[in-house]
Amino acid sequence: MDSVHSDECATAIHDEGPILNIKEAAKLMRCSGSLLYQQCQRGAIPHIRLGKRILFKREDILAWLDGLRRMPEEFV
Name the DSSP class of 9: H
Domains and their CATH numbers in the chain? 3-75 (1.10.10)
Alpha-carbon separation of residue 26 from 5, 7, 50 (angstroms): 25, 23, 18
pTM for the full model?
0.69
Task: Name the 3-class secondary structure at 70.
Answer: coil
**What is the distance between the alpha carbons of residues 10 and 3, in angstroms, rounded to a whole number?**
10
Per-residue pLDDT tens digits for 9-61: 444 445 568 999 999 999 999 999 999 999 999 999 999 999 999 999 999 99
Torsion sign (Cα): 19, 27, 15, 58: positive
Q: What is the mean pLDDT of residues 68-73?
A: 83
